[in-house]
Structure 1
Amino acid sequence: MKTWYSICALDEGAEISIYDEIGAYGVSAKAFLADLGKLPDAAPLTLRLNSPGGSVFDAVAIYNTLKRHAGNVTVTIDGIAASAASYIAMAGDEIIMPENAFLMIHDPSGLVMGTAADMRSMAEALDKVGASLIKGYAAKSGKAEDEIAKLMAAETWFDASEAIDMGLADTLAAPVKMAARFDMSGFRNTPEAIVATMKAKADPVTVEPEPAPKPAVGSKAGPEPDPATIRTEAMAYAKTVVDLCRLAGQPQMAAGFLEAETSLEDVRKALIDARAAADPDISATHPQPGPAPQAKPWGDVIARTFKRKG
């Protein structure tokens, strides 16, 4: 299964890379923490970040584990540490930012579907997580929690110099070429420099592949697939699968679907069947208004929420 992180052993310690959306592809922080737990307690760690964020709950778990690690933790932001990724960065004993890197903090957000009680429960959870984030940023920067809270509410982006001045980073490094492109449309105040880079047709750090051999006489060769397009489609597929599973109340099924590369149509069918099996049929003894259970209303919800294109 594809994952959003890698951990490589070094002669002394290990290097961890988070170069994607945290919690993507159905891989949670549980797997990350299990791999991290295999390292010696006192091993020095180098964490390289280039991430638009992701699951804030996973990020808090990763931050807490890195803070408990006995060895020195050095964080280098290789481009972007936004949202949940910026909180993970705060676990570093030293945070290094190249001149053209960015760090962003904002209030946590979440998605819930259900009753008013469900939504109040989510709001309470986000308030608790937000308070935890504020304490983490304040502890690193030395700034007052009220000041941090205002910056988070405004979705504040810092370049390297600003982050260092704010106390959210320690060391300025030479500029780097951004190593990945992300969909930044979900953020309000993304700097134009990042938007332009993300929209660039060519990946600045991708080495041009050698020309493919010419096809044999009489054979047909289609156009070479665009790596950026493949990546975008893969990310969209993974996000849709995870969202569908969460919506259906079956988040544990996402990993299996992604590993098997199950079509979205089959994902929908499997989730509808799983939901139907999980919901007891009480209509015989307690008639319910509306359509019969065979109508499988969750199927309607999923279909309306994630309409197929084309």
Structure 2
Amino acid sequence: MKPPFPLWIFNKLDGQLPVQDKHWYSLRASGEAEQRTIEVYVYGEIGTWGITANQFVRDLAALDDGTSPIVVAFNSIGGDLFDGLAIHNALSRLGERCTGRVDALAASAASVAVCGAHRVVIAENAALMIHNPWTYASGDAEDMRKVATALDQALELIITAYKAKAPDIDEVELRRLVNAETWLTAREAVALGLADEVGDGVQIKACLGQGTVMQKYQRTPQALLDLLNELSKPTKSVADDPEPPAPGADASALALLITQSCNQGGMSNLIEPLLATTKLVDEATVKAAITQAKSIRDLCVAARLPEFAVEFVQAGLDTSAVRARLFDKVVGKGGGFEIDNSLPQNEDPTPKIQAKQPDPPSIWAARQAAQSQASRGARP
């Protein structure tokens, strides 16, 4: 489902489970063994570059005792439809002890996933976004027809998931809302039956670097776009531009740490950018930068654009901003797909048997010989 990059909108409740950049979601069990509650935080993209259904199911099974209540909190722009459907079905199998909670946003595949919960509570200032499945593709006309058929089938899966949560919903109206890309307020979601209860509102804030993702939707609420624009204004503190350390043994050791880590991690091309961006301030800064650089390199490789890793590390981008940049590069500003009419490349083509080229002189000679033989045979 559109698009495959996340926008995180975090609530700011005191005591909220921290969500670090390298973790897409978190699980914890609280309380005594007899009365514990299992909490799952799906804060980020659903799918390949975020929390996959496979990971979700395995980790939840490791904590689930079969009796404890389970609360799954969503704060996600969506992602892969089929991972969302798998999470939907996993929550549905938990039965009445499963509660889905929309802390700020459950969009696209995330809206499908949360509807698998027996009971859905949506914060008063949160939103649920539903829309048609979306993809990008390449190929000839027949390939495009296959993709269109697959999208039609995917839409039916989406409608089925929503109707499982809200069996009394008018299907014609539901299809209209899905087709129109509809952003539902908490009370609208409850009125439709896609949520059961409006919870207390919480202050929300969008992560920087993800505004371009929201702008790709057609009907993103203006209030959210205004919030993104406000938050995107750069701020700078003294800590943003630390003075480089004086040359010495510590700096040499940190430079060696970067060099060895990059060589061992197969990213030697990132040594120079890391030396420049970290300024060898201290060990903690260097280690954090190496971890960040590896995540950026992995994202670029996953997007089949490894050549941009150096640029992104040099620019000091975080992984969320990198995802947004990669998405723009993959599908372009206008979305959709490109038609490539060039012949496919094959590094080791299978030798083809060439047909023998016609030889006009030999054909003429054979025909003359046949005619001559026929004339001789016709004489008395």
The TM-score bracket by the shorter chain reads 0.5 to 0.7
Kindly report which structure 2 residues correspond to 1:172-251, keeping only aligned pairs within 5 A, or say none.
172-181=198-207, 182=210, 183-201=213-231, 241-244=301-304
C-alpha distance in structure 2 between counterparts of 1:167 and 1:100, whole Å: 17
Q: Deviations over 1:199-228 (max 9, x none)?
A: 33279xxxxx99799869968x97x99xxx
Q: Counterpart of 2:158?
A: 133
C-alpha distance in structure 2 between counterparts of 1:26 and 1:80, whole Å: 16
Cα RMSD, aligned residues only: 4.0
Q: Deviations over 1:18-57 (max 9, x none)?
A: 1111114265322222212322333321111111111111
Quick check: 2:25–2:51 contact (8 Å CA) kept in 1? no
Report the structure number with the largest CA radius of gyration.
Answer: 2
Q: Which moved more, 1:1-10 or 1:160-169?
A: 1-10
Q: What fraction of aligned residue pairs are identical, expressed as a percent?
A: 32
Q: Which moved more, 1:145-154 or 1:92-101?
A: 92-101
Quick check: 1:24–1:239 contact (8 Å CA) kept in 2? no
Quick check: 1:103–1:163 contact (8 Å CA) kept in 2? yes
Q: Counterpart of 2:180?
A: 154
Q: Counterpart of 1:254?
A: none
The reply to whether residue 20 of structure 1 matches residue 80 of structure 2 is no
The reply to whether residue 8 of structure 1 matches residue 25 of structure 2 is no
Q: Kindly provide the amino acid, as one letter, of the partner of residue 93 in structure 2.
A: R
Q: Deviations over 1:121-140 (max 9, x none)?
A: 33222222211211221232
Quick check: 1:23–1:58 contact (8 Å CA) kept in 2? yes
Structure 1-normalised TM-score? Answer: 0.67
Q: Deviations over 1:225-259 (max 9, x none)?
A: 9xxxxxxx9998776543438xxxxxxxxxxxx9x
Quick check: 1:41–1:71 contact (8 Å CA) kept in 2? no
C-alpha distance in structure 1 between counterparts of 2:176 and 2:223, whole Å: 24
Kindly report which structure 2 residues correspond to 1:1-310, keeping only aligned pairs within 5 A, or say none.
2-11=22-31, 12-25=36-49, 28-38=52-62, 39-70=64-95, 72-141=97-166, 142-181=168-207, 182=210, 183-201=213-231, 241-244=301-304, 280-283=348-351, 285=353
Quick check: 2:42–2:73 contact (8 Å CA) kept in 1? yes
SS state at 2:144 partner:
helix
C-alpha distance in structure 2 between counterparts of 1:119 and 1:53, whole Å: 24
Quick check: 1:81–1:103 contact (8 Å CA) kept in 2? yes
Aligned residues: 248
C-alpha distance in structure 2 between counterparts of 1:174 and 1:234, whole Å: 39
Instruction: Say if 1:235 and 1:112 are closer, same or farther in 2 by CA, change over 3 A.
Output: farther
Structure 2-normalised TM-score? Answer: 0.55
Quick check: 1:42–1:71 contact (8 Å CA) kept in 2? no
Q: Which moved more, 1:60-69 or 1:191-200?
A: 191-200
